Amino acid sequence: MRISGTIIADSSTVIDDGTVVVDGAEIVAVGDRERLAQQYPDHREQSCDLVVPGMVGGHIHSVQSLGRGISDDRELLDWLFDYILPMEATLTADEMEIAAKLGYLELIESGTTTVIDHLSVAHADRAFEAAGEMGIRGLLGKVLMDQRSPEGLREDTDEALADTERLIQKYHGSFDDRIRYAVTPRFAVSCTEDCLRGCRELADRYDGVRIHTHASENQGEIETVEDDTGMRNIQWLDEVGLTGDDVVLAHCVWTDDEERELLAETGTHVTHCPSSNMKLASGIAPVVDYLDRDINVALGNDGPPCNNTLDPFTEMKQASTLQKVDQLDPTVTPAETIFEMATVNGAEAAGFDRLGKLEEGWRADIVGLSTETTRATPLYDPLSHLVFAARGEDVTFTMVDGSVLVEDGEVTVADADAIREEAVEVAESLDLEEARQNAQELKP
């Protein structure tokens, strides 16, 4: 296939009237449209206004999609213990599959092609299958919670680690290596030391398996860890092996200088989630400082209950403008930097090589967008447009590993209407009362 339009190949390369040629799962050529049309006459041409690398969602909870808007404007602990954890504890396997599909649907519709996905404790298999079926690329993991966690979510340490290992063996490298495994403890607060150390051990035992967890999202979490361990959260994670260039830490809002040095020294990846941090009132992550320290910072939407969308484009705008106002400097986190966070930095965090640019020999994860809108008029700079004005709604074409998932704005790999209808049915029948009661005793 030849995908043509204005090509934003990477943060510093724009090709007007260009083409990306795809053979199998790979990009085989990027360049001038006319020349490549002559060179590859038998490749079908797909025209888009803008052609960009697929976005990487560096921290997503696809299975929380059924909770979009279920608990807005609430205190964090009410949000978590009255809604989010009870919902995760309540969903049946079938419902978890719908939840995951709804998440992947929104992601591929709006331009995310790779996801670092924090599933739930139970029924992770169904999310893996859904991701495989719907064609998204991902680093997925079942959540481990073995302390301070409500019934229906809390597992024994051994049980949690054994189920993780089973899933690694079943899904790591599955679907032509499009789906890989991340060992995913929820966060230090809900995991024992044995559990956290066990996570590191599993990741070391299986080649390419990574670690993905929440870290230092809010001040209460840090106090709890400090009470438990006498250490700051990132220091504790480092102590039990959860730093390193195979580790992705979501949020990192509240870190001190020593912790930041630790992140930099160990090559630990950080995923910034600005919309979530704003809506949950977590705080403003020191992204400019992280970038100054050469920490790899990816970008993520977190879950629909705390965002409330999975749109990677509005998340880019959010990331850029939140740092600008925090630093009182409109030149920080410019479009180029933010675009890198959402593409190559995310790919590096997820551990997929040759991902996040449109370049010969790189993976064919490609998104096309329309600019036939008032919001895209006029359009002086394609990259800047992408970060400050484009939206998931503009996506007309999505390809992962050379397979078309969305074409002419229509999802081709699933029945989008059916997924939405099933999701509404599940949402309408959701009864969280019992799980909410179970969670109350744990609410701090």
Per CB under 8 A, residues contacting a second copy are: 66, 68-70, 72-76, 79, 102, 105-106, 109, 275, 277-284, 307-309, 311, 314, 320-322, 324-325, 327-332, 334-335, 374-375, 377-381, 384-385, 387-389, 391-393, 416, 419-420, 423-424, 426-428
Question: Among 288, 373, 392, 282, which residue's Cα sits nearest to residue 338?
Answer: 288
Report the residue number, 72 or 159, with the smaller CB distance to a second copy: 72
CA torsion angle 406 127 200 401 (round to 10): -20
Report the residue number, 177 or 256, with the smaller CB distance to a second copy: 256
Neighbours of 158 (CB within 10 A): 12
Query: For residue 366, which phi and psi values (nearest 5 degrees)?
Result: -135, 140
Smallest distance, a second copy to C-beta of residue 335, A: 6
Report the residue number, 264 or 284, with the smaller CB distance to a second copy: 284
Q: In whole angstroms, give the CA distance from residue 48 to residue 54.
A: 14
Smallest distance, a second copy to C-beta of residue 253, A: 10
Q: What Å distances lie between residue 128 and 100, 139, 204, CA to CA?
A: 9, 10, 21
* Secondary structure letter of residue 341 according to DSSP: I
Smallest distance, a second copy to C-beta of residue 247, A: 26
Smallest distance, a second copy to C-beta of residue 348, A: 23
Neighbours of 282 (CB within 10 A): 22
Report the residue number, 108 or 160, with the smaller CB distance to a second copy: 108
Helix axis angle, 193-205 to 157-171, nearest 10°: 20
Helix axis angle, 124-134 to 93-109, nearest 10°: 30
Report the residue number, 328 or 431, with the smaller CB distance to a second copy: 328
Print burial letters for 217-230: b (CB count within 10 Å at least 16), e (below 16): bbeebbebbeebbe
Alpha helices in 110-188 (DSSP H): 124-134, 157-171, 174-177
Report the residue number, 38 or 377, with the smaller CB distance to a second copy: 377
Smallest distance, a second copy to C-beta of residue 179, A: 21
Q: In whole angstroms, give the CA distance from residue 164 to residue 144.
A: 8
Report the residue number, 98 or 168, with the smaller CB distance to a second copy: 98
Residue 50 near residue 6 (C-beta atoms within 8 A): yes
Smallest distance, a second copy to C-beta of residue 379, A: 7
- From first CA to last CA, the distance across the chain in angstroms is 55
Neighbours of 42 (CB within 10 A): 5
Report the residue number, 306 or 355, with the smaller CB distance to a second copy: 306
